[in-house]
Amino acid sequence: MPPRLPHPDPGIPDTRGPGRYLWWLVRCQWPRALRGSVVATAWMIGLAVRPYLIARAIDDGLRTGDTRALLSWVAAIIAAGAVVAWLGIVRHRTMTFLREDATARSSQVLLGHVARLGAVLPRRVPAGEIATVCGTDISQASWALTMTGPGVGAVLSYAVAAVVLWAVDPMLAVFVLLGVPVVALAVGPLLNRLQGVDTAYRHELGILTARAGDIVSGLRVLAGVGGRDLFARRYAARSQRLLRQGYRVGDIMSWVQALTAGVPALFLAAVVWLSARMAAEGQITVGELVAVYGYVAILSTPVWFLLEGGFMTVRGVVAARRIIAVLRIQPDDSPGGAAPDGPAGLHDPQSGLTVPVGRMIGVAAEDPGDAIALADRLGRYAPSDVTWGGQAIAGLDPGAVRDRILVADHDSYLFAGTLRELLRAGGEHTDARLAAAIHAASADDVVESLPGGLDAPVEARGRNLSGGQRQRVRLAQHLLAEPEVLILIDPTSAVDSHTEARIADRLYEHRTGRTTVVLATSPLLLGRTDVVAYLRAGRVAAVGTHEELLHTEPGYRALVAREADEPETDAAEVGALR
Amino acid sequence: MTGTATTTTSPTATSTNTLPVADRATVRRSLAELARAERRSVALALVLHVAAAAAGLAAPWLVGRIIDRVTAGATAAEVDELALVIAACVVAQILLWRTAQNVSNRLGERANARLREDFVARTLRLPISVVERAGTGDLATRSSVDVATVGNTVRQVVPIVLISVIQLLLIVAAVFALHPLLGVAILAGVPTTVAVARWYLRRAPQAYLAEGEAASQLTESLTATAEGARTVEALRLAGQRVRVGNARVERQWTTRRTTLALRTVFFPVVETGYALPAAAMLLAGGAFLANGWLTLGAVVAAALYSQQAIAPLDHIMMFMEQAQRGSASLARVLGIGLVPPEPRGVSCAPRGQQLLVRGARFSYAGGHDVLHGIDLEICPGERLAVVGPSGAGKSTLARLLAGIDAPREGVVSIGGIAVTDLDPAERRRRIALVTQEHHVFIGTLRDNLAFAAPGAGDDDMRAALAAVGADWYAALPDGLDTELGDGARQLNPADAQQLALARLVLADPHTLILDEATAALDPTTARRTERSLGAVLEGRTVIAIAHRLYTAHDADRVAVLENGRISELGSHDELVRAGGAYAALWRSWHGDKA
């Protein structure tokens, strides 16, 4: 029975331990796991049927010359082949469903959790860690579930083979039943060793692949400055290193490959020798001799499954541990007090800044770090004494704050999707409002330049947009969110002056009547605000209109007009072109 | 800056400009070349594998002999003798197999090294305009996924398939040797297996590719949600991210059900087929035995061979699909070699440094003209600023000046020679294009500088770093030997841009074209970088594409580019006096001080 994926409700994972997490994945679909065990057992036992039938065909048909018996045993061989094939595919399908159900469940609980964590996440785990968890750990945890099917089946079919062999000859049975696991255990470490050297090789290969990718990403730089031959030589040198590493791996690997196949073959030879002696002495029949030969070959299947399953489980537990490490991170969703009913003023005691309601205030900070810290305080991303409508913002419900105050980061993440999806950011908007926001952000040409306009695909991080385009798309997106309080950080740093002048005008119109904070040092932007606060050493040093401050505050003038009175202080970039 | 909006940074816009994929003949030729270069190793590997497989055939045959002896009433001593021979054969097989594996492993490693080194060398020779038009995404996939797939195929899949084929052929030959009619019987399962394999292989590669893609899309979606966690919170995107993720889960499930459906047909048919040879062998054996054409032992040996054939057959079936994917990847890897490399250009040196643009028009791949007849003369040592709205063609002009693209009409020349006619290496020595793209290569700081000027010593490098104000250099633990780039020490954008500038100091071109070199940086960083820039610009001809007007203010001349035409050209003061678009913009920028 195929599962319906994605799960309507993935459930609440058991994060008390990696074992419990894996067990939870099984428990959520226990009927399927049970069916997997039954089918896998039947299939493995079925594998032993063919040697038995061949043996009977030899004993009853060939040796006695009984054509009818031979025909019926041959028919049985074909029928058994079909049944085993059917059992095999049912087992494979059931186990695939089991793994896929678990993979989807893990993906979904992780996805839900990561989406809920928000800004807490980057402080607790690096994004690369999440990439590993998603890329490999989820599927490794799912593979561990294979133990529930063939794992159980292996144990049961081994027991059945024991009974059958016992019936042939107890001494032989003991030899085979003990010998197969011993051989498997002897070969197992060899496999482990192989995995070790192969991991080292793969690591080196990863470095080389990264080098090639590095060269590809740097092609334009190389085209501008030169040095291609040098890079070709460096890559070749590293590639030769991998080649030598590959030789070393091949050295060991060829032994491992030969021995993993050879040692069981030697064991088989020993079994043949023992059983042939018994046949010579009349203890067993020739057919039984052939059957034993077949059983030994077949018995290795469950033993290998167990060995493989053991590795998988160990890896699965490690993977599950990393998954629950992410799932255990607690989101910052402590219930808090109710936010102010209507638009209310924000006040930051640390800098002394008061954000007036319904106005646009520019904040020009000498140190951009102060501006970012201020935005984090106003947006309740950092602990602070900021008040909103007189109440401490730290004590308010975080969800309510997020709904109404938007800190528009300079580098906010652009998710992959169509341009329209990106701009809407989860909300529903009419085309008219969409167009208005795009116009205000002066991003009309971005829409026009992309094939398909609003329906053009935008890659993650806006990789297929230029820096200036990304910035304007972000601005349009933030405007479209229409927050009660919008805090913009350097919204036009990457656009040309023509465009910046347009944005400054349109932004002011678009946000008329709503509280907006613009953290920037551009005179074009600051000139189109109601009031400007000049921040020096993290404190508000002066408040006034842009024009007033230009006249009264030399420091402000130097900051925003750059080429102003003291050429020696920041003339370097000017001197650059002088 | 926004100039590249209309240029070629967007891979989606350039579907007509994809990189080529090699056709079958080319792939075959390359493989033949590889085999020729390694013909001794290839021959040795084949001989060893055949010998190893032959040794593996001994056991069933000897079991058959044992059965005949036992049926004839042999003693335990005779059995011992034959059992010992079996053991000896197994030991011989182990040794032969090991050697064969080692030889073919090494062969595979060498072939791999050759393929990937060729690929990188050819990638490095690609004309940059081709790379930009095709987008680096495709190239990045080829360099990672395709090279790896080819590597894996050459290393693991090809040997296994080869060995399995050898084993199968020998097994069939052995059964033929027992009796020709038995040989025919062992082929009983072949027709159905071949039919279903063809059916499967026609569909499998596509389906598995889709599956892999869906899996990486899911991972990407989850990783993006984590990377953009703060944005998710700020814009209340949690619900949307979960929806997107669920859609990816669904897509992954759909693709996996497709591959599962293929296997659901393929596996049972093939597995059922495995029973047929044994059955046919027993039936034929029964008939022959009755006529006395064969001994019981021979029939048993044949039945055992039919069982022994299952493993190699299984391997071939399992790896066929991968081998197919490997050859598809190989076609993409070799495709890079089909792009004509950057032309070498004429070798003669230009007379002088004067840049001259006459009637230059340009359009991107069949589109409208982006530049409509540009005329411009830039004297050595001059500082020219190019300003204008987004999409006016500023970056395109920069690319023409740097010789990356040739004008559709008109001429762009330096010292009387068209810049695109210059030898690329020569051109780069004279004209450098600095964009907002800066890249820190994986390697030491020295590696990151050396390629700009192969002859530079450590002192030159330190001096270059000091010249651009890269004071962070002093704090590096291992100085010039500090490892940088992906996976090692990450430089922040400003430091990375300074590193790029230090390269320029080392490369020492007489003309610099700055295309919004600092636009992608945040304002503080941009300020620091601009300071470093001063050191680089000293004594050179500079053409600065600018989005900040103070750059224009300080230039010798300003060119205002609008809709692909130069609308105003003159010194800052002249333009302000002229009262045109530039003057208006300057006034608003400058506030009330003007």
Which chain A residue has the Cα nearest residue B67?
A: A286
Please list, residue by residue across B562-579, b when 16 or more beta carbons sit within 10 angstroms of its beta carbon and e when fewer do.
Answer: bebebebbbebeebbeee
Q: What is the pLDDT of residue A575?
A: 37
DSSP state of B440: P
Contact A286, B67 (CB under 8 A): yes
In which band, very low, low, confident or very high, does the pLDDT at A310 lie, cut at 50, 70 and 90?
Answer: confident
Q: What is the pLDDT of residue B527?
A: 67
Q: What is the pLDDT of residue B10?
A: 32
Which chain B residue has the Cα nearest residue A83?
A: B272
Residue B166 to residues A266, A534, B50, B134, B172, Cα–Cα distance (Å): 22, 82, 6, 43, 10
Contact A167, A123 (CB under 8 A): no
Q: pLDDT: is B517 or A83 the higher one?
A: A83
In which band, very low, low, confident or very high, does the pLDDT at A539 lie, cut at 50, 70 and 90?
Answer: very high
Is B558 within 8 Å of chain A by CB? no
Do β-strands A360-365 and A515-519 pair in parallel, antiparallel, or remain unpaired? parallel
Q: What is the identity of the amino acid at B391?
A: G
Q: What is the pLDDT of residue A275?
A: 87
Q: What is the pLDDT of residue A569?
A: 33
Contact B280, B188 (CB under 8 A): yes
In which band, very low, low, confident or very high, does the pLDDT at A36 lie, cut at 50, 70 and 90?
Answer: very high
Across A320-324, A498-502, B80-84, B424-428, least confident range: B424-428
Residue A540 to residues A335, A366, A517, Cα–Cα distance (Å): 32, 11, 14
Q: Is the pLDDT of residue A132 over 80?
A: no
Two tokens, residue B55? 């040794």
In which band, very low, low, confident or very high, does the pLDDT at A350 lie, cut at 50, 70 and 90?
Answer: very high
Is B425 within 8 Å of chain A by CB? yes
**Inter-chain CB proximity A253 and B550 less than 8 Å:** no
Per-residue model confidence as pLDDT tens for chain B (594 residues): 333 333 333 333 333 467 888 988 999 999 899 899 999 999 999 999 999 999 988 888 888 888 888 888 878 888 888 889 999 999 999 999 999 999 998 999 999 999 999 999 999 988 877 887 777 777 888 888 888 889 888 888 888 888 899 999 999 999 999 888 888 888 888 888 899 999 998 998 888 888 888 888 888 888 888 888 899 999 999 999 999 999 999 999 999 999 999 999 999 999 898 889 889 988 988 888 888 888 888 888 888 888 888 888 888 888 887 888 888 889 989 999 888 887 776 666 777 888 899 999 988 766 678 888 899 999 898 999 998 877 778 888 988 998 888 888 899 998 888 888 888 778 888 888 887 777 888 888 998 998 888 888 899 999 888 888 888 888 888 889 988 876 667 777 778 888 888 888 888 889 988 887 766 566 666 666 777 777 778 788 999 887 767 677 778 999 998 888 999 999 989 998 988 888 887 776 665 443
Mean pLDDT, rounded, for A271-283: 86
Task: State if pTM tops 0.95.
Answer: no
Q: What is the pLDDT of residue B365?
A: 63
Pick from B41, B223, B449, B486 the residue to mutate for testing the A interface (most A CBs within 10 Å). Answer: B223
Residue ranges in A328-409 assigned as alpha helix (H): 368-378, 398-404
Closest-CA distance of chain A to residue B28, Å? 24
Q: What is the pLDDT of residue A147?
A: 85
Q: pLDDT: is A498 or B377 the higher one?
A: B377
**Inter-chain CB proximity B101 and A254 less than 8 Å:** yes
Question: Which is it for the CA torsion B114, B117, B120, B122, positive or negative?
Answer: negative
**Inter-chain CB proximity B1 and A495 less than 8 Å:** yes
In which band, very low, low, confident or very high, does the pLDDT at A107 lie, cut at 50, 70 and 90?
Answer: very high
Pick from B390, B405, B429 the residue to mutate for testing the A interface (most A CBs within 10 Å). Answer: B390
Strand partners, A237: none
**Rounded Cα distance, B224 and A463, in Å:** 13
Among left, alpha and beta (phi > 0; psi -120 to 50; other), residue B295 is beta
Strand partners, A539: A536
Closest-CA distance of chain B to residue A468, Å? 5
DSSP state of A405: E
Contact B346, B132 (CB under 8 A): no
Closest-CA distance of chain B to residue A562, Å? 8
Of residues A74, A262, A368, nearest to B282 (C-beta): A74
Closest-CA distance of chain B to residue A109, Å? 10
Concatenated DSSP letters of B242-264: HHHHHHHHHHHHHHHHHHHHHHH
**Inter-chain CB proximity A220 and B235 less than 8 Å:** no
Q: What is the identity of the amino acid at B553?
A: H
DSSP state of A461: G
**Inter-chain CB proximity A576 and B101 less than 8 Å:** no
Cβ of B475: how many Cβ atoms within 10 Å?
7
Across A120-124, A537-541, B8-12, least confident range: B8-12
Helix (H) or strand (E) holding B514: strand B511-515
Q: Is the pLDDT of residue A187 over 80?
A: no
Contact B117, A235 (CB under 8 A): yes
Mean pLDDT, rounded, for A327-345: 83
Of residues A6, A110, A550, nearest to B592 (C-beta): A550
The predicted complex's ipTM stands at: 0.86
Provide Rg for chain A, Cα atoms: 36
Q: What is the pLDDT of residue A377?
A: 94
Q: Chain B residues with CB inside 8 Å of A250's CB?
A: 101-102, 105-106, 109
User: Measuring CA to CA, which residue among B403, B348, B370, B412 is closest to residue B128?
Assistant: B403
Q: Chain B residues with CB inside 8 Å of A272's CB?
A: 59, 63, 66, 83, 86
Q: Is the pLDDT of residue A185 over 60?
A: yes
Residue B460 to residues A227, B502, B503, Cα–Cα distance (Å): 17, 10, 11
